[in-house]
């Protein structure tokens, strides 16, 4: 298990990077990374009941929409933190998108992206940087 | 901002607080889908203190309310709730949908929507005229709780005793002395489609009763679950399905007594509408399994023709399907008709159905 950090009742993991639109990204080999939404994001959305199936094989740019998730309360957009190609979608989510609520950082991963340039990850937020984002959104 | 007097208790049991109709209150306790299921399968408690609670007392109370609401209040027995009724405007639109509790001919309680509280207090005062009545607002110095679900009788009997067994649907008792304090009002009623009870107490007693229920394993449910449950039953919510511009006929919301002889505000307009017919009718929609959620404001189409709109949408955890309420043009009000619900860059396949979506009473 990777090291956990808690801010208020939101869990963050030290083994990955974050984007200010509440996605996490974690390398799984030299070029491939998994992307999902943070514990903060799933707690804000609440019960997730739907996810749009993203197009596997699609080239995607940093800042582009990967897919959307829907809870009863709201619609959430998942924005790509990097440039690359979507190479896999977590199909388990089609049957049960609530996995994103119960395990946002592991079983609840959303897509795998083959990165154009793995060094892009260096520019993303670490745990402390992302805590600042949460603080701002919580009005602190 | 108004807030439930039990806010600290909700925080203590991990309630997630949000705002609704200017009230700070619990939206959920971590998982509104589970809370809705727990209500259907077992029992939960809700804090519904945001509902307006207004007493109407005095010699002319019955005549006064008979003039203001659409149901025949004279036919309601003492110690019974009227069933759903409404204050209508002169066009027969809804000012508020309410329940009228009859203590006696000169003593009533009106329970209505939080969003209409101030408007209805004003409306009552505006209409007093020569009527000998006094209006007393209990909303802010009492709490209102609901205990709902198939196991509610069993747990309430344990907490409050045999008095539970003397209640039947819409019946209520008043001023019940218990070891937890005095319950001002205990009724067999609710808004979930399940067997259940509603209580009005002072703040301290209310908190004690919730603590006793919680310690006995009854889980809390928030406004999110309450909304899912009422949509599953097809109940109209003020501000979504009904408003000043919607009448009871098109809403198919039977808040009036067909045979009521006494005149009431909105009656003439209502009778005219009945004769003339309505252009749109309220219906339910079931979306295809695995669809996105239909949401308020989305449009309903058959082919390229727009035939209606959505007023509430949710995901039913018991059916595992997205469901919605809305209106369709009368000539398309056909049970089973396949439609597309469009909005938010989505097209959702659905069909028109007659609620309730969940039939278990």
pLDDT at site B227: 98
Q: What is the DSSP letter of A41?
A: H
- Indicate whether B27 and B163 sit together in one domain: yes
pLDDT at B360: 66
CA distance B123 to B244: 13
Give per-residue pLDDT as tens, A39-52: 999 999 999 999 99
Q: For residue B181, tell me if it sits in a domain.
A: yes
Q: What is the dihedral of CA B318, B322, B324, B330, to 10 degrees?
A: -110
A50 → closest Cβ in B28, B228, B292? B292
My answer on whether B216 and B149 are in the same domain is yes
Asked whether residue A140 carries a pLDDT value surpassing 90, the answer given is no
By the 8 A CB rule, do B240 and B312 touch? yes
Is the Cβ pair A47, B292 closer than 8 Å?
no
Closest by CA to A28, choosing from A96, A90, A101, A91, is A90
- Tokens of residue B335, six digits: 């049970």
User: Which DSSP state fits B222?
Assistant: -
- Rounded CA-CA distance B278/B4 in Å is 39
- Shortest CA distance from B225: residue in chain A: A72
Cβ-defined contact of A49 to B28 (cutoff 8 Å): no
The residues on B that touch A, with CB distances below 8 Å, are: 16, 28, 31-33, 224, 228, 290-293, 314-315, 322, 344
The answer to whether the CB of B214 falls within 8 A of the CB of B220 is yes
Number of domains in chain B: 2
DSSP class of A122 = G
Instruction: Give me the DSSP letters along A80-98.
Output: -SSSEEEEEE-THHHH-TT
- Rounded Cα distance between A118 and B10, Å, is 46
CATH class of domain segment(s) A4-133: mainly beta
Residue pLDDT, tens place only, A67-77: 999 999 999 99
Residues B226 and B347 in one domain: no
Residue B148 sits in a domain whose CATH number is 3.30.1360.120
pLDDT band (50, 70, 90) for residue A139? confident
Residue B256 domain flag? no
Chain B residue numbers touching A98 (CB-CB < 8 A): 33
**What token pair was written down for B146?**
């609901």
In a domain, B306, yes or no: yes
Asked if B4 and B46 count as a contact pair (C-beta separation under 8 A), the reply is no
Q: Please tell me which residue of chain A has the smallest CA distance to B30.
A: A46
- What is the distance between the alpha carbons of residues B276 and A126, in angstroms, rounded to a whole number? 66
- For the record, the structure tokens of B26 come out as 């619990």
Kindly determine whether residue A49 and residue B31, on different chains, have CB atoms separated by under 8 Å: no
Per-residue confidence (pLDDT) for residue B344, from 0 to 100: 83
Domain extent, residue B31, equals: 2-49+142-231
DSSP state of A1: -
Determine, yes or no, domain membership for B206: yes
Domain boundary among B215, B231, B247: B231
**B14 and B163: one domain?**
yes
Yes or no: say if B89 and B60 are a contact pair by the CB < 8 Å rule: no
Residues B293, A72: C-beta atoms closer than 8 Å? yes
In chain A, what residues touch B224 (CB-CB under 8 Å)? Answer: 46-47, 72-73
Q: How would residue A1 be classed by pLDDT, with cut points 50, 70 and 90?
A: low
Contact: B32, A46; criterion CB under 8 Å: yes
In a domain, B118, yes or no: no
pTM of this structure: 0.95
User: Nearest CA to B133 among B66, B67, B68, B59?
Assistant: B59
Residues ≥6 apart with Cβ < 8 Å to A124: A17, A18, A19, A25, A81
> Are B42 and B163 in a shared domain?
yes
CB within 8 Å: A101 and B31: yes
pLDDT at B359: 84
Binary contact (B292, A70; C-beta < 8 A): yes
| Chain B closest-CA separation from residue A67 CA (Å) | 12
pLDDT block averages, 10 residues each, chain B of length 361 = 97 97 97 97 98 98 98 98 98 98 98 98 98 98 98 97 96 97 97 97 98 98 98 98 98 97 97 97 97 97 98 97 98 97 94 92 51
Q: Has the ipTM of the complex gone over 0.90? A: no
Given the structure tokens 């209106």, which residue do they identify?
A: B327
Which A-chain residues 100-129 have CB contacts (< 8 A) with chain B? 101
pLDDT at B249: 98
Cα(A46)–Cα(A75) distance, rounded to whole angstroms? 11
Of B303, B302, B305, the residue nearest B285 (C-alpha): B302
Is A74's Cβ below 8 Å from some Cβ in B?
no
Size of interface A-B (CB pairs under 8 A): 35
- pLDDT for the residue numbered A2: 73
Whether cis (ω within 30° of 0) applies to the bond prior to B4 is: no
Residue B239 located in a structural domain: no
- Which CATH number goes with the domain that contains B310? 2.40.30.110
SS3 label, residue B228 = helix
- C-alpha–C-alpha distance, residues B135 and B313, integer Å: 37
């Amino acid at each position: 298990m990777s090291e956990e950090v808690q801010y208020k009742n939101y869990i963050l993991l030290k083994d990955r990077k974050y984007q200010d639109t509440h996605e996490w990204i974690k390398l799984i080999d030299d070029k491939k990374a998994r992307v999902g939404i943070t514990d903060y994001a799933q707690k804000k959305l609440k019960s997730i009941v739907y996810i749009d199936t993203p197009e596997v094989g699609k080239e995607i740019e940093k800042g582009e929409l990967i897919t959307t998730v829907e809870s009863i309360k709201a619609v959430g957009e998942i924005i790509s933190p990097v440039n690359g190609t979507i190479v896999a979608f977590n199909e388990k989510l089609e049957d049960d998108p609530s996995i994103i609520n119960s395990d946002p950082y592991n079983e609840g991963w959303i897509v795998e992206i083959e990165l154009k340039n793995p060094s892009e990850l260096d520019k993303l937020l670490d745990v402390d940087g992302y805590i600042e984002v949460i603080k701002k959104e919580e009005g602190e | 901002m108004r807030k439930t007097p039990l806010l600290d208790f909700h925080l203590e049991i991990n309630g997630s607080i949000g705002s609704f109709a200017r009230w700070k209150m619990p939206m959920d306790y971590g998982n509104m889908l589970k809370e809705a299921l727990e209500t259907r399968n077992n029992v939960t408690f809700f804090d519904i203190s945001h509902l307006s609670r207004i007493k109407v007392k005095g010699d002319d109370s019955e005549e006064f309310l008979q003039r203001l609401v659409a149901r025949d209040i004279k036919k309601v027995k003492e110690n019974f709730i009227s069933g759903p009724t409404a204050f209508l405007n002169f066009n027969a639109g809804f000012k508020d949908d309410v329940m009228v509790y009859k203590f006696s001919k000169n003593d009533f309680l009106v329970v209505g929507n939080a969003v209409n509280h101030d408007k209805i207090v004003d409306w009552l005062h505006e209409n007093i005229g020569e009527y000998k009545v006094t209006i007393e607002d209990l909303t802010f110095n009492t709490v209102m709780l609901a205990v709902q679900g198939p196991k509610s009788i069993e747990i309430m009997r344990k907490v409050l005793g045999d008095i539970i067994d003397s209640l039947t649907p819409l019946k209520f008792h008043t001023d019940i002395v218990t070891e937890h304090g005095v319950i001002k009002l205990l009724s067999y009623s609710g808004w979930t489609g399940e067997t259940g009870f509603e209580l009005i107490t002072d703040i301290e007693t209310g908190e004690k009763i919730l603590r006793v229920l919680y310690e006995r394993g009854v889980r809390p449910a928030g406004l999110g679950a309450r909304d899912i449950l009422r949509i599953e039953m097809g109940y109209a919510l003020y501000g979504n399905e009904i408003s000043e511009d919607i009448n009871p006929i098109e809403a198919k919301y039977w808040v009036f007594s067909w045979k009521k002889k006494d005149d009431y505000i909105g009656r003439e307009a209502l009778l005219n509408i009945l004769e003339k017919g309505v252009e749109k009718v309220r219906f339910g929609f079931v979306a295809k399994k695995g669809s996105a959620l239909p949401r308020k404001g989305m449009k309903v189409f058959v082919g390229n023709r727009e035939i209606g709109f959505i007023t509430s949408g949710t995901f039913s955890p018991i059916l595992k399907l997205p469901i919605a309420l809305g209106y369709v043009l009368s000539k398309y009000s056909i049970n089973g008709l396949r439609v597309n619900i469009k909005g938010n860059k989505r097209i959702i396949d659905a069909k028109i159905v007659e609620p309730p979506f969940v039939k278990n009473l």
